[in-house]
A and B are shown apart, each in its own frame.
Chain A
Amino acid sequence: MTAGSEQVAALRRPATVADDPLAGLLVRAVAERGAARDDATRNPEPDAGEHDEAEDETRNCSISTGPTYNPTGIVPVIVGGDGKKRAPFTFSATFATTSSPWWKFWESASSPDCCEVRQYIKWDKAYETSKGGPPHGGFGASATPGTWYEDRDSANKRYGHRSGSHSDPIAGGGDEYTTAGVRDQLHGDTYNGRDTPTSPVARAGQYQFKLKVLDTCGLVNTVKATSPVITVNW
């Protein structure tokens, strides 16, 4: 075979990954995206009941700090003069913004709007006996002690939802996302929440709370981080 015929044969041969650096990059990109997808779907959120709302394959959630409570551990209970007792605490998390160089197009960029905080609550049997049921009507009469539920009020408003019917931003760090200290509910990189669980003074039993940060940009919402549990002993 002459040198000329070798060149013709090479041109007619189907391209392989070994032959073509660009094809190699494409194969690698597809493989890495597939692996990332498999990893995400292997870890569904069991107790959040979250649903995929808007898949965005090019972005994901990356946590900078948190989610954390203040105080941690056992939350002090303050008995007021109005027949109620309260256990105030705050919580927070911050999220990273990153981008990949153009030639690493298979890598996702970290975007704060993919991160959403959720608070969960669990009450014990002693509480249920004292109250005669769940804490309030927002949970439904069939809610049981010893089970983690996403926290809410009687109007079904919940912490950390950037949008939708459960969203109820509260200014001053009550339940809001900000960027550089300014309300930025959809895209903010900082989350601050405040809660003051309250009961009549006669109430007994226990509440426990924990936080999760969800990545809402995948096929399904996945848990990126979980805080230590805090406890309110009524």
Chain B
Amino acid sequence: MSADPLSLSISLTDTARPAGEVVLTNDGEDAIRIWRTGNDWGDGTLSFVVSRDDDASTVTPAPQDYTRNVPSSFEVPAHGSHRFAFDLRDGSWEPEAVLAGLPDGDARLTAVFEITPTPESTEHGVWTGQVRSDPVALG
């Protein structure tokens, strides 16, 4: 079984909110199709874990309003990447209570990108699985 060609990293621009970019990199030889955000299928794919000592809490996208809501997808090219800009205090993530006390030198942020198998993922040829970033300090 070959290693997953996708990897994930965080580039922080603000440790207090926190905010920055999550970079999804495709190190494989083939393009990989993933869900586009802005719909029911794509907006649940990215989440974060805020960890302090032995405690870990998950931050997920808050329920959104969609008008054109379709399983839209695009390809991350071979040896290419896609950047997800994020700001965990812009109102589109919950629960914000997890972010209280930041910046905190003991806190770490990990990004999780996951697409679960569904009939739509099969129909549209979308990659399924989970990749996690290395934790970054929020202090």
Contact = CB atoms under 8 A, between A and B. Distances in A.
A174 B64 CA distance: 20
A153 B38 contact: yes
B17 interface: no
B63 A157 contact: no
A197 interface: yes
Contacts of B70: 153, 168, 170, 174-175, 194-196
Interface in A149-180: 151-155, 157-159, 168, 170-172, 174-175
Contact of A197 (B69, B71, B72): B69
Contacts of B40: 84, 196, 198
Nearest to B66: A198
Interface string B27-50: 000000000111110000000000
A231 interface: no
Given A131-B65, A200-B63, A155 B36 contact: yes
Nearest to A174: B70
Contacts of A82: 63
A157 B71 contact: no
A217 interface: no
Given A172-B123, A196-B40, A198-B40, A153 B69 contact: yes
A37 B123 CA distance: 44
Top 6 nearest A-B pairs (CB, nearest first) are A154-B38, A200-B63, A153-B38, A153-B68, A198-B66, A135-B65
A157 B65 contact: no
Interface string A110-140: 0000000001010000000001000110100
Given A136-B38, A155-B37, A155-B38, A195 B68 contact: yes
A197 B66 contact: yes
B29 to A, nearest CB: 24
Contacts of B71: 170, 174
A203 interface: yes
B66 A196 contact: yes
A81 to B, nearest CB: 12
A152 B65 contact: no
B74 to A, nearest CB: 9
Interface string A181-224: 00000000000001111111101000100000000000000000
B59 to A, nearest CB: 16
